Amino acid sequence: MPGWWHELFHAPVDPSSLALFRVLLGGLIVANATLYARDARALLDPDGMFSFGAWKNGPDRHLFSVLRWLPASRRSVTAVIAVYGAAGACLAVGWGTRWAAAAALLAGVSLNHRNRYVLHSGDALLRVMTLLMIFSDAGAVWSIDAAASRPAAAAGSPWALRLMQLQLALLYLQTALYKLKGRTWRQGTASHYATRLRAHRRRRLPDWLDGVVAHRAATHGALAAELAGGTLVWFDRTRLLAIGGLVALHLSLQLLMRLHLFQWTMLASLVLFFPGETTARLVELLWS
């Protein structure tokens, strides 16, 4: 393999950003499990929207879910949600990190596939990140695992972190290119229509932000932020600008629209682009 490949995937890096992301990912999984528990009766139970029989023989029958092998009962659904939440908590505190990630992946996929008609891209990102977490050194610092292993393990190969970063950049780039195919995105009216989706609207825009010029700025600003998230985020000189734009985008969407945990999942993932040393210094500052 060429030198740049080795430098990118194998040269050791400070694992602090990865560890912070592990904590945030664990928290998101606990929150997701809590929300699943709240709506399990309608969305997951054998007596819910899809009976187990219809689901097992339906178009999703090839997708993995441990619920296929468990008795068709509410207790099975509750047990899988409990495993999911517990695995998320273990991940957050870094206790048996790799095993916790594996358990969170299998339980999360099982719940997702029981009713995949209520999912969004944030769920897919959680699945991918949890998979890569299994292979990462996310438990190397700020974890029970690290506290239990003395002396501390040396920084390992950051390939899993790099794949997480690649996936995130690909997500933003692909999304921006996909949106550019749409007329409303090119015209600068997409945010006008998006803020009128009744099912998702959290609050109305104030009049002074609801004009043609403001919507054009918001629509094209969102596209620019996402394009930067796929490109400028890789360069030291432009990284902060790209991350700042994405933070502004996700926070404003969180303020205006109800999209479950999507914005928080994206915001947490942006931590992966911080240099490890910067994250370590920031966390030290916050703790001291």
Partner 1 sequence: MNGPWLDALILYLIGLFLVPNFRAGGVPRRLAEVIYQPFIRLGLWYRWSMYAPEVPEATRLGLTGIVKDDGSFEIVPLPGCDEGAGFGKARGLRFIAWQWALCDPMTDFLKPALCDYALRLWRRRSPAAGRGPGRPVAVEVRVYRYPSPAPGQRDEPAEPEVRTVFSRAVEE
Alpha-carbon distance of 157 to 103, in angstroms, equals: 23
199 contacts partner 1 (rule: CB under 8 A): yes
Mention every residue, 6+ apart, whose C-beta is less than 8 A from residue 231.
Answer: 169, 173, 242
Choice from 194, 218, 243, 272 touching partner 1 (CB under 8 A): 194
DSSP secondary structure string for all residues of 160-197:
HHHHHHHHHHHHHHHHHHHHTTSHHHHHT-HHHHHTT-
Whole-number Å distance between alpha carbons of 117 and 210: 32
Shortest Cβ 79–partner 1 spacing (Å): 19
121 binds partner 1, rule: CB under 8 A: yes
Binding to partner 1 by residue 5, rule CB under 8 A? yes
The residue to which tokens 């009713």 are assigned? 115
Is residue 134 a contact point for partner 1 (CB under 8 A)? no
**Interface with partner 1, residue 48, by CB under 8 A:** yes
Taking alpha carbons only, the member of 208, 211, 190 closest to residue 253 is 190
Minimum CB distance to partner 1, residue 286 (Å): 29
- The answer to the question of residue 58 lying near partner 1 (CB under 8 A) is yes
DSSP 75-117: HHHHHHHHHHHHHHHHHHHTSSHHHHHHHHHHHHHHHHHH-GG
Residue 163 lies near partner 1 (rule: CB under 8 A): yes
Residue with Cβ nearer partner 1 (89 or 214): 214
Measure the CA–CA gap between 101 and 175, rounded to whole angstroms. Answer: 27
One-letter amino acid for residue 63 of the chain:
L
286 binds partner 1 per the rule CB under 8 A: no
251 is a contact residue toward partner 1 (CB under 8 A): no
Name which of 218 and 280 has its Cβ closer to partner 1.
218
Instruction: Reduce the DSSP state of residue 33 to 3 states and report it.
Output: helix
Nearer to partner 1, 42 or 147 (CB): 42
Q: Any idea what the Cα angle at residue 223 is, between residues 222 and 229, rounded to 5°?
A: 90
Regarding 136 and contact with partner 1 (CB under 8 A), the answer is no
Q: Please tell me whether residue 120 binds partner 1 under the rule CB under 8 A.
A: yes
Q: Which of residues 169-188 bind partner 1 (CB under 8 A)?
A: 170-171, 174-175, 178-185
Min dist CB 148 to partner 1, Å, is 23
Chain residues that interact with partner 1, rule: CB under 8 A: 1, 5, 9, 35-36, 38-39, 41-43, 47-51, 54, 58-59, 62-64, 105, 109, 112-113, 116-121, 124, 127-128, 131-132, 157, 159, 163, 166-167, 170-171, 174-175, 178-185, 189-190, 192-194, 196-200, 211-212, 215, 258-260, 262
